[in-house]
Structures are given as C-alpha cells and as structure tokens.
Chains A and B, each alone.
Chain A
Amino acid sequence: MSEAVLVAAPDRWERALEALSADPEAQSIFDSAARHSAYDRYLRTSANRERPGRYWKIDLDALAPSSYDHTAATTAHFSGGTARGVVRCDLATATREHRAVFEKAFGKALAHAPGKYAALAQAFVTGGAFVYIPPDVCVDEPIIISYRPSRGSAAFPYTLIVAAEGSSATVIEQHDAADESVFVCGVTEVIARTAATVTHAAIQTLPEDATVFFTRAALTERNARVSWAAADLGAHVCGSTIFTAIEEMGAQAHIAALFFPHAEQHVDFVTTTDHLAGQSQSRTLIKSAATGNGQARYLGNIRIAANMHGCDANLKDDALLLSPHAHIDSVPALEIAANDVKAFHGATVGALDEETVFYMMTRGLDRRTAERMIALGFFEPALDHFPTAALRERLRRLLEQKITAA
C-alpha cells in the first residue's frame, strides 16, 4: 500500500464528492474535511498486493470507473430482529436520533483497516444501516439487512452495528441486485462492547459483471465475541477484507468464509486479526473453491502484539480446484511478537481426490454425483458457522449451482 495511484476520470468522482460536501444530511454522517481526507487516502493507497500476472489478471486500482451513477441512493431494507429497545434505521436518522452512540462508534473499527476501498466507501458514505442493541438485550431472531443497488449505479452501503455491554445479536447482511452493471463499495463496522456477542453473516450474490469491494471491520472490547461468516459468491471482481481488532482481554474473534469463483470471476480475500490484548482467542476457517477460469487469492494475517500472552490463534484454509484453469493462491501469514501463545495455521490446496471419487463410485454413485457431494461437503465446515438453517440451505443451493455449471 505505498505508491500513489490515480484512478480514471477523477473529475467526476470529485464533483460527486463536492456535491456530498454541500449536502447537510451527508455532512451529518461524515463531514466535508473527513470525506476529502478519506478520498485522498483512497487515491494514495494501492489495493494491489502483487502485479496482475498469468493467473490473477485484474488491476485492483483501476476498478472505479466514472461511468457509474454516483448519485443513486443507497437504501437498506430491514426485516426481523425487533426486540425491546433495538434500533434499526438509516445512518442519517442515526445521526439525528442517536447522535452520541453514533459518534462514539462510526469509523472506530475501520480506523484499523486502512484499505483503499474502505477509504472510498467512507468518502462517499450516504446511506446504509445503523443497528444498536441496548445493554443486556439478547435479540434471538436475526436482523436481516438487504441492499439492492439499481442498474448502473455506484453504491456505498455502510452498515454500523453497535452492541452495547452484555448484549447479543445476529445480523445477516445480503447484497444482491436484480440489474446488472453495478459497482458496490461497502463497509460493515461492528463495535462489540464489553461482553457483547455479535454474529454477522454476509452473503454476496451480485451479478456476474459487478465490481464489489467489502471491508468488514470489528472492534471487540473485554470478553466480547464477534463471529463473522462471509460468503462471496457473485460479482466479476470481488475484493473482500475482514478485519478484527481485539482490543481488550478475553475477547474472541471467529471468522468463517467461503468463496467460489467460476467462469471468469476473481476473488481477492483478506482476513486480518490483530490480537492487541492478551488472553484472547481467534479462529479463522476459510473454504474456497474455483472452477472454469476462476481465480482467487487469500491472505490470512494473524498478528499477536508483543507481551500479549495467553493468546490462542488458529487459522485453517483449504482450497479446492475443480478445473485445470482455475487457480487459488493462499498465503497464511502469522506475525507473533509474544511468547506463551498458541498459534496454529494449516493450508491445503488440491483437486478432488480420485481415490475418494472411486470409493463413492463403488457405492453406485456416478462420477458427477460423487464429485458434487465431495465439493459440497468440502464447504460444510464453513457453512456450519452461518446462523440459520434457511441461510445454510440457500448457500448449499448456490454452491451446487456453481459446481454443476462447471
């Protein structure tokens, strides 16, 4: 993230930025100076981890063309999860009616996630969702937030979830679109106060010509627990980052993610878990498959700061290649500056095991059925972390479509 990179036709972006800076509602969410500074950071930062090459063909810095409609409103639709005192509203309403909570939370988790597209999302944030769970309230039913950008639009969905002390909630965020040609640059921030428990599941099934970037960032206080479950299945190019900062002792971060580029899809997935406090625990489980000319890259960072003893971090990532032209690059990266910690990582990349296929065929299953069962089974350990049976079943169907389309 060093060299300066300029994006195509910045003038149109800058005009859109000026318009937002003059809009009182947009100002109340994020003021003009902050927007300009975020935009500046976007321009100065590169999202490329390496140069485009034989497998990975996309320049991640050249993906925000001016042709999109920057003025389309980003609207979140809510369902479920109504409980005593729970707030679900758009960001502008949150700035009016829940100013104090909003100001103490907005941008606080993202401050640790200095990505190019996180900066762009902040510069252009207008709509989105604000969820607040009051102290000690447990919301049993998942809160579902859906975003559906319209044709040709650039959308900046920003979801801010604040779980107060001792509360617990499950949020499911869905991103899809009926129309094609969308650019989505989204952010989810989760602020888990002391002993709060938040499960966040994201499912992205945007059209196959879409370009999407998601930055999901969480901040966990003492004894809090944040569980991420992410499924990135749509879009032509998808850049996804999950960032969890463990700021106080006893906190836990759980990440389960699955992605599956097929045809010409490209997925760039990064998880970063920062153990900034001792006696904290993180679990990361990544299941990825690729078929057709699908390309994926995964970078899994685990960082344990100096003197943060008693941390327990575990990262496991498995990649399954279902065609000779599919490619998945997987890089687990552990930076451990403390003694007396437990840290484990394991990564596998491979094709379907022929001995397993043979075994299943001797039981009467034809080759396609056997391969489909193995590939679906491969994702099951990650699917287990998604919060509802209906969501898991929906994901199985989507994965099955990708497998059989191969």
Chain B
Amino acid sequence: MSDRGLRIHDLRVTVAEQEILKGIDLHVEPGRVHALMGPNGSGKSTLALALTGHPRYQISSGSVVLDGLDLLALSPDKRAKAGLFLSFQYPAAIPGVKVSSFLQATRQAVKPGDLPPAKFRQLVMDKMDVLDMDPSFLGRYLNDGFSGGEKKRLEMLQLAVLAPKYAVLDETDSGLDIDALRAVGESVNAMRTDPLSQDTGFLIITHYPRMLQHIKADVVHIMIGGRIVKEGGPELAHVIERDGYDAIRDETAVGV
C-alpha cells in the first residue's frame, strides 16, 4: 500500500513557453484534506489543469503518479477513469445536454455498470439533498444559464456522484454566498464520512481561508511564484488570515 496517494514530483509546467510551475512536490494522501493556498497568479489553477491534462499546459519535467499509475501518460478521460476529479473554477456549459443524462454518462464512464438505474437515481437524489439542490436541476441543460453558485453546486454534485480517488477543487469557494459555501462544505464532509468515499484524498485550492472553516484541512501548502514555499498544519491557514501572504513572502524570500 506504500505507493497509494497522488504523488506530484518536481513538476514543471509551461504555458505559451512561459514556465509557471517551477518544480512542485506534493503528496496528496488518501482520505486526507490538503489545502493549497496562495495569492492570485501563483500557479494553483495551472497545477489543477496540468494534473487533469489540459492540452495547453506543457509538462517540461517531473512526474505525477496516482496510486502507482503514471498519470501524465494518460489522456484526460483515462485520468478520470483512474480516479482523478477536478472541480473547475469555470465549468463549461453544454446546451442541449441535460444534467441527468450527463451524470449518468459520466458515472457509466468512470464506474461502468456498478449501479442499477433505480439505485443510481436514488444516489443522485441523496447527493442533491445534501447540496440543497432542487430536483428540477436534473432537467436543465448542463451549466447553461446557471448562476455562479449553481455551477459550483453542480461541480460538487458530480464530485459526490463520481466518488473519485482524488479530487482537486479549484477555487470552488470563489463567488459563493455563505449558504452555497456551507452546502459545498457539507457535501465534502458527507463524502468523508461515507464508507464509499471516505478514502478520497482532497486537494482544495483556495486563496481565502474561509473555505477551511467549512472543510477542515489536515495539511496546508502555500504556493507562491510557482513553488510550494511552506507547508504545515491547519494553523497555517490562520496565519495567512491574520498576516496575509506578504509575511510568508518575506519569510521565504521568494521574489514575486
């Protein structure tokens, strides 16, 4: 079991010939919550999109291994099948594709034939209940005309329905009102106590510590200028809240 985990080693990523990530080492453990914090432009979203295989993000060196599997050799869909999930900061809209049929297709792709239709419907309804989503959502076109909060709720619904091994949440808290934020927190916490998803490892990207009032982090990583500059326990988030990122910048002397 020693190779379990999402192991990112010396990852360097360039976008349009500019190096954004300058050697990232990060180990997301099963069943644990890792918070990745950092100011705007530090490279957090780049990491999320590079992990999932966005074609615009070029890996120049390093490795990403998911439970022993070389993730970087796989196309985005195969990474999802291997157990990786990304909650997008800006999810795509797909007019004409209903939420219900999309959920069904993705569950079928990631976990083929594991649930009879009636059980699957029940699962979706239960997860929607936790997220305080009206069942009418299922009949709407995916993210088409959704508010920011509705989009994030739908990302969380997909996360709960797909129950991946590792989930990256890219600024899921941004633009959320307090009720939506609480619903997101409850959904993640419900996953963590559910025997079917309690081993999911989370990498929660945020630049506001308020997200961590709803989801308790086990480890906090601070990213500045494309590097992880500091790691610590949940108390690190409180330091950020009190002193901001400047204190860490000074302390670690990263010239950004």
Contact = CB atoms under 8 A, between A and B. Distances in A.
A137 interface: no
Contacts of B53: 361-362
Interface stretch (B74-82, B177-185, B216-224): B74-82
**Interface band, chain A:** 20 to 34
A361 B95 contact: no
Contacts of B106: 363-365
Interface in B40-55: 52-55
A237 B85 CA distance: 46
Interface string A373-390: 110111111000000000
Contacts of A373: 94, 97, 102, 105
A363 B86 CA distance: 8
B141 A364 contact: no
A353 B95 contact: no
Classify the secondary structure of A's interface with B: helix
B90 to A, nearest CB: 9
B92 A356 contact: yes
Contacts of B141: 377, 380
B95 A381 contact: yes
Contacts of B54: 358
B76 A361 contact: yes
Classify the secondary structure of B's interface with A: mixed
Residue among B53, B102, B109, B162 having the largest count of chain A Cβ atoms under 10 Å: B109
Contact of B96 (A355, A361, A363, A376): A376
B88 interface: yes
B95 A355 contact: no
A216 to B, nearest CB: 25
A344 interface: no
B206 interface: no
A365 B94 contact: no
A72 interface: no
A375 B162 CA distance: 24
A374 B80 contact: no
Contacts of B52: 362
B172 interface: no
A381 B96 contact: yes
Residue among A362, A365, A379 having the largest count of chain B Cβ atoms under 10 Å: A362
Contacts of B158: 363
B96 A364 contact: no
Nearest to B144: A377
A369 interface: yes
Interface residues of B, number: 29
B97 A364 contact: no
A358 B52 CA distance: 9
B109 A365 contact: yes
Contacts of A370: 77
Contacts of B37: none
B95 A377 contact: yes
B92 A364 contact: no
Contacts of A358: 54-55, 76, 92
Nearest to A384: B96
A366 interface: yes
A377 B95 CA distance: 6
Given A373-B105, A374-B97, A361 B92 contact: no
B62 interface: no
B244 interface: no
Contact of B79 (A362, A374, A379): A362
B91 interface: yes
Contacts of B95: 377-378, 380-381
A370 B88 CA distance: 17
B75 A364 contact: no
B94 A356 contact: yes
Contact of A363 (B55, B75, B93, B162): B162
B110 interface: yes
Contacts of A354: 55
B161 to A, nearest CB: 10
Given A358-B55, A363-B162, A381-B96, A369 B105 contact: yes
A373 B94 CA distance: 9
Given A358-B54, A359-B92, A365-B109, A377 B97 contact: yes
A367 interface: yes
Nearest to B95: A377
B79 to A, nearest CB: 7
A365 B53 CA distance: 14
A364 B81 CA distance: 6
A144 interface: no
A401 to B, nearest CB: 17
Given A356-B92, A365-B109, 5 more contacts: A356-B93, A356-B94, A359-B88, A362-B86, A363-B80
Interface of A: 353-356, 358-367, 369-370, 373-374, 376-381
28 contacts: A353-B92, A356-B92, A356-B94, A358-B54, A358-B92, A359-B88, A359-B94, A360-B92, A361-B53, A361-B75, A361-B80, A362-B52, A362-B79, A362-B80, A362-B85, A362-B88, A363-B109, A364-B81, A364-B106, A364-B110, A366-B109, A369-B105, A369-B109, A377-B95, A379-B96, A380-B95, A380-B96, A381-B96
